[in-house]
Amino acid sequence: MDVDGNHSRRSFLKATGGTIAAVSLAGCSGSTDESGGTDGGSSGEASGTINYARGAATKSLDLHKIDDGESVKVTNQIYDKLVQFVPGKNEIEAGLATEWETEGKTITLTLREDVTFHNGEDLTASDFVATYKRFTDPEYEYYIGEEDATSYAGNTFGEVESVEATDETTVTITTKKKFAPMLRNLAVFAAGVMSEKEIETGEQFDSTAVGTGPFTLDAWQNEGEKIRLKANPDYWGETPKSEFVIFLAVGENSTRVSKLTSEDIHIIDGIDAEGADRIDKADGVELVQKTGLVTGYMAMNLEKREEFRNTKVRQALNYAVDTKAIVDSIFRGFASQSSQAVPPAVPGHNEDLDPYPYDQQQATSLLEEAGFGDGFDFTLTTFTNPRPYIPSPSQAAQKVRTDLKEVGINVTIEKKSWNDFLNYTIAGKHDACFLGWNADNGDPDNFLRPLLHPGIESPDGQDWASFSAEGYNVYNASGWANQEFMQKVEEAQTIIDDDDARMKLYNEANQISHDEAPWVFLDHADELRGVKDAVSGFKIAPVGGPFLDLVSVE
């Protein structure tokens, strides 16, 4: 997959041929998938309704206020980005921009000319500028406000120096330094384009939305629990296959499964292992499965526990935990073992690395070499609710305890609710903790930088940093600060014209973190959806989806 990814990115950076080049990309990356070209402009008649059930209500439709999947699922139908993910793939294709060129610190994008917003206004470069300013510029009259703006303002546009409308159809983005992930950031939901005219009404966009996307907002009920979208007849791409989409919030996992198997719901997500079994056995529905762009791990806190500062101890734990059993039995096969932070479908994933095998003898001898032959005690902090990357945290923690007991390490399990857990681990109070990460933009930087880079320089000759240090990146839950690794990640971020060289650095960075093992590498979980047989055209999109405009219901 990373080869495909490299290939496509290279094609892109060279692509000045615009639309056609972008469309041919799917072919380029060795796929027979036809959905790559969304700009065919051919229009079929939209008919039918897709009923989509998920676990919670949409909090808001305001792109700049949301960071939860339940909101993003809906805004992805309404708003378009300048560039977008190819449905079901971790690749970029033309969105509202048909061409782009990266030169040093600037990206110049050329917009489509035939695009109108749902309010009838034409899309121009100044719409993107206004959207950008609303999200990030406190000077702007219609700035969203520091309290409301999500962390995606920084995640997406943090490296941006300026955004300008050079002319009606040209957007120029200048970054503070050469910043390779920038283009992918533009495909993230938070970079969706709002209408300048709407922005400058100063209205709220929590329960209203004016985008350029394949669907328009038709009805918003019960604070986002029930939402109806209608096909946009003037959509610049192919007209959606279905006339309506209804999003329904159904909180209880098992109830959601029942609604799929015996009621009027066509697609569900948020499926636990038990639900997956039920869907698998039921008639008329199918369980769709795909490796997600997610990583689950157990971080060992080097600052808190001196034992973990010894690489051999960390390696020993990787040998001692039977991750295959966790993946196969506890996660019921809906996940695969992990050898590194970057998941297989993300470019930069090092294919030469294998997961640590389950080897108690190796673990014991490593512990002896490290001087911990008699073992030691530590506390493993975990959340209790299933997360996409660790579907059954409590059982997995039990398994870790049992396995480590075999090599003389006594683990105490400490369970916390999600919010308490986050506050606790962010403060670095844990000995070790379970955690995980979902891809935002599908770039390797999006895994290695937030999860394993401390964000600050570590003291000389010390490969860990303090959580309480000024500027420490609190998502790095192990406190690990390896100079060599940090250099590679920092350098890779600035390589914009040579993807092979960039990916080579990520491969090396992954090798280092695999060997140094600041985590016990656990799993890459699958994404699961339940889909009625009457549905066609649906595919799981680990980033940028769901692409419901391609879906039809018999």
Q: Which stretch binds another protein (CB under 8 A): 253-261, 345-353, 398-406, 537-545?
A: 253-261
Structure-token match 């695969």, residue found? 336
Question: Cα separation of 142 and 154, whole Å?
Answer: 18
Task: Verify binding: residue 148, another protein, rule CB under 8 A.
Answer: yes
Helix (H, G, I), strand (E, B) or coil at 151: coil
Give least dist CB 453 to another protein, A.
15
Query: Exactly one of 21, 248, 285, 535 binds another protein (CB under 8 A); which one?
Result: 248
Task: Verify binding: residue 259, another protein, rule CB under 8 A.
Answer: yes
The residues facing 246 across adjacent strands are 51, 228
Query: Exactly one of 325, 422, 469, 512 binds another protein (CB under 8 A); which one?
Result: 422
Query: Exactly one of 21, 46, 111, 249 binds another protein (CB under 8 A); which one?
Result: 249
Query: Exactly one of 94, 182, 210, 246 binds another protein (CB under 8 A); which one?
Result: 246
Helix (H, G, I), strand (E, B) or coil at 142: coil
Cis preceding linkage at 546, omega within 30: yes
Q: Which stretch binds another protein (CB under 8 A): 33-41, 118-126, 147-155, 395-403?
A: 147-155
Give least dist CB 436 to another protein, A.
14
Alpha-carbon Rg for the chain, nearest whole angstrom, is: 24
Task: Verify binding: residue 435, another protein, rule CB under 8 A.
Answer: no
Closer CB to another protein, 55 or 375, in the complex = 55
Please report which residue ranges of 467-517 form alpha helices under DSSP H. Answer: 483-493, 499-516
Task: Verify binding: residue 362, another protein, rule CB under 8 A.
Answer: no
Task: Verify binding: residue 250, another protein, rule CB under 8 A.
Answer: yes
Check: CB of residue 534 under 8 Å from CB of residue 553. yes
Task: Verify binding: residue 265, another protein, rule CB under 8 A.
Answer: yes
Query: Strands 49-54, 244-249: parallel, antiparallel or unpaired by DSSP?
Result: parallel
Give least dist CB 357 to another protein, A.
34
Helix (H, G, I), strand (E, B) or coil at 114: coil
Query: Exactly one of 16, 119, 262, 412 binds another protein (CB under 8 A); which one?
Result: 262
Q: Can you read off the two tokens belonging to residue 420?
A: 């308490």
365, amino acid identity: S
Of the candidates 79, 192, 187, 206, the one whose C-alpha atom is nearest the C-alpha of residue 148 is 206
Could you say which residues in the range 452-481 bind another protein, by CB under 8 A? 474-475
| CA distance to 52, 91, 142, 365, 400, per residue, from 380 (Å) | 37, 37, 46, 23, 9
Question: First and final CA of the chain: distance in angstroms?
Answer: 33
Instruction: Compose the 37-56 pattern: x for residues touching another protein by CB under 8 A, - for all others.
Output: ------------x-x-----
Query: Exactly one of 168, 263, 406, 498 binds another protein (CB under 8 A); which one?
Result: 263
Q: In what order do the strands lie in the sheet with 170-175?
A: 97-103, 106-111, 170-175, 160-167
Give least dist CB 95 to another protein, A.
29
Closer CB to another protein, 47 or 255, in the complex = 255
Could you say which residues in the range 371-400 bind another protein, by CB under 8 A? 385
Task: Verify binding: residue 420, another protein, rule CB under 8 A.
Answer: yes
Q: Which stretch binds another protein (CB under 8 A): 109-117, 163-171, 245-253, 300-308?
A: 245-253
Instruction: Compose the 197-236 pattern: x for residues touching another protein by CB under 8 A, - for all others.
Output: ----------------------x-xxx-xx-x--------
Of the candidates 209, 231, 233, 204, the one whose C-alpha atom is nearest the C-alpha of residue 220 is 209
Question: Cα separation of 173 and 164, whole Å?
Answer: 6
DSSP letters, 394-453, are: HHHHHHHHHHHHHTT-EEEEEEE-HHHHHHHHHTT--SEEEEEEE-SSS-THHHHHHHH-
Q: Which stretch binds another protein (CB under 8 A): 127-135, 244-252, 406-414, 542-550?
A: 244-252
Give least dist CB 533 to another protein, A.
17
Give least dist CB 31 to another protein, A.
34
Task: Verify binding: residue 414, another protein, rule CB under 8 A.
Answer: no
Where b means 16+ CB within 10 Å and e means fewer, 414-441 reads bebeeeebeebbeebebbbbbbbbbbbb
Closer CB to another protein, 246 or 407, in the complex = 246
Give least dist CB 265 to another protein, A.
7
Number of residues that bind another protein (CB under 8 A): 39
Helix or strand holding residue 378 (H, E)? strand 377-383
Residues belonging to the chain? 554
| Binding-site ranges for another protein (CB under 8 A) | 49, 51, 57, 59, 147-148, 151, 219, 221-223, 225-226, 228, 246, 248-252, 255-256, 258-259, 261-265, 385, 417-420, 422-423, 426, 474-475
